[in-house]
Amino acid sequence: MSDLDPAPDTIRAASDIVPASILIAPHPSLRRKARPVRPEDAVKLRALLPGMWEAMYRAPGIGLAAPQVGLDLRFALVDLMENEVPAPITLINPEILRVSDQLATREEGCLSLPGMYAEVVRPESVRVRYQDLDGRRHELDATGLLATCLQHEIDHLDGILFVDHLSTLKRNMIMRRLAKDQRQKPGPGAG
């Protein structure tokens, strides 16, 4: 996948970039299993990435997966912005190789479920394999917030949302509250 090199023209001033629109649950695109990124997707990916980063940073969020902007492709963006220092990672075809037996509980939210948060139990550490834009393979050992974030984003590629890790009762409560919030949201042009 060496033709996934980022083109120099993808580096532009943020003001030129139109942020991608983030889909809100229960949009059906959020429930599909996305297909692997292939070398021939390179041109499309190059064109899409700036708008996706822009949408994620503006939200603001620490992760955004392709299905959240309606793309049937296995890639996700992550930047924890720890100490407000950008550390963007583009994860192409990521897969979890190993998880710890040790579990951790962490509060999660999602740009596709705005305003909704819940404590989710997941493995505390993971090893993830992914490809970068140059087609190189990487393995990343992550723990803490990064481990949670990686699992959350990889879940998106399989049509799984963080609420799926909760009890049916809690999940239904959150989905009802989200639907109510979305109905009450002023539409475009409502000021």
Contacts with Ni ion, residue ranges (CB under 5 A): 110
Q: Tell me how far, at minimum, the Cβ of 24 lies from Ni ion, in Å.
A: 11
Q: What does the chain come to in residues?
A: 191
Q: In the annotation, is 119 catalytic?
A: no
By the 8 A CB rule, do 58 and 69 touch? Answer: no
Among residues 40, 95, 124, 153, which one is catalytic? 153
Q: Tell me how far, at minimum, the Cβ of 51 lies from Ni ion, in Å.
A: 17
* H or E element, residue 99: strand 89-99
Q: Tell me how far, at minimum, the Cβ of 108 lies from Ni ion, in Å.
A: 8
Residue nearest to Ni ion (CB): 110
> What is the DSSP code string of 1-65?
-GGGPPPGGG---GGGPPPPPPP-TT-GGGGSPPBPP-GGGHHHHHHHHHHHHHHHHHTT-SEEE
* Residues annotated catalytic, as ranges: 153
